[in-house]
Amino acid sequence: MKSLLNVSDLSKDDLNSILSFAFELKETSSNTLQNLNIGMLFEKYSTRTRLSFHTAICALGGEPIKLDFEEMNIKRVESFEDTFEILSCYLDMIVYRTDDHKKLEIAKKYFKKPIINGLSDYSHPCQAISDIFTLKEYFDNLDEITISWFGDLNNVLFSLCEAAQLLGNINLNIFTDENIYKEKRDIFSFKNLNFYFDINSDILSKSNCVMTDVYTSMNDKDESKENLLKKFQVNSKIMSQTNEKTIFMHCLPANIGSEVTKEVIKGNKSIVKKQAYNRMLAQKGILKWLNI
Ligand code: CP
Ligand code: NVA
């Protein structure tokens, strides 16, 4: 049974198939998901993931069904495991956003049909796949693309690292605080990553894309990283060290004034709106791949 809890659930061919399906289904509707009921279970806030899946499912002829634990018997007597076992009587797939990746793993064991990780504390595979799609669309191909990531070592970066490792031709430079690196280096032990604890204009001038994300993620328990990461804010000074073709990307939502300035995110190098739109195209690719 196919599922998408992490990018590492995919082979390189799988990822390339998802990207091809996303390009193929770009502006079209189809009946790929006809008669399929797809659960949408979000335990945390979401704008893009919720709406891009909902609209992608509808465009492919499926039926998105909003689920809420607050309205279900899991709140009274039924266990988490039994709930997912029963959900598989009615649903053909589920998109699940949660605060604890272990819950996704347990859900996968009991649901027995495709589960899509709509973000966990650990990873955000749909975001990484969509961002790879956006880079491929923008630069025409992914040959020797160099991304410079600024800030936290978080779920979005983890999935991006997995995707870069799988594809093999993406160079990833990570500008972060040394203490955060020491704390997370076992998780971020991928090949071909370059870590920097100071700004490096030579690297910036060779970057095709500068990317960042919030310093405090929705599942973070404290906000102590805000101070540590201040010097990695993506501002005009950083962007002035890039080349004329470098783009700026952010998965959104952004904490404007913290990890990125308004000038940069609203500036002419920023493609964040396109990036958000492309979530819907990438979800189409993911849904089609899961259903074949
Ligand atoms: N980028 C992203 O996943 O956005 P949402 O939290 O709004 O879904
Ligand atoms: N790292 C962020 C991503 C939001 C889409 C978070 O987990 O809150």
Kindly report the protein residue whose alpha carbon is nearest to atom 6 of ligand 2.
Answer: 217
pLDDT attached to residue 191:
86
Q: Which two tokens stand for residue 290?
A: 């899961």
Contact call for residues 272 and 211 (beta carbons, < 8 A) = no
Question: How many whole angstroms separate alpha carbon 231 and alpha carbon 112?
Answer: 46
| Distance from Cα 162 to the centre of ligand 1, integer Å | 19
Residues 200, 201, 206, 209: is their CA dihedral positive or negative? Answer: positive
Instruction: Please give the number of the atom of ligand 2 that sits closest to the Cα of 127.
Output: 5
Q: Which ligand is nearest to the CA of 101?
A: 2
Secondary structure letter of residue 9 according to DSSP:
G
Instruction: Please give the number of the atom of ligand 1 that sits closest to the Cα of 119.
Output: 3
3-state secondary structure of 248: strand
Instruction: Please give the number of the atom of ligand 2 that sits closest to the Cα of 49.
Output: 5
3-state secondary structure of 222: coil
Each residue's pLDDT expressed in tens, for the chain with a length of 292 residues: 999 999 999 999 999 999 999 999 988 888 999 999 999 999 999 999 999 999 999 999 999 999 999 999 999 999 999 999 999 999 999 999 999 999 999 999 999 999 999 999 999 999 999 999 999 999 999 988 999 999 999 999 999 999 999 999 999 999 999 999 999 999 999 988 999 999 999 999 999 999 999 999 999 988 889 999 999 999 999 999 999 999 999 999 999 999 999 999 999 999 999 999 999 999 999 999 999 8
Instruction: Please give the number of the atom of ligand 2 that sits closest to the Cα of 251.
Output: 5
| Distance from Cα 253 to the centre of ligand 1, integer Å | 6
Pocket of ligand 2 (CB under 6 A): 119, 154-156, 213-214, 217-219, 251
pTM of the model: 0.98
Q: Which of 158, 194, 156 is nearest to 176 (CA)?
A: 194
DSSP string across 156-194? HHHHHHHHHHHHS-EEEEEE--HHHHHHHTTTT--TTEE
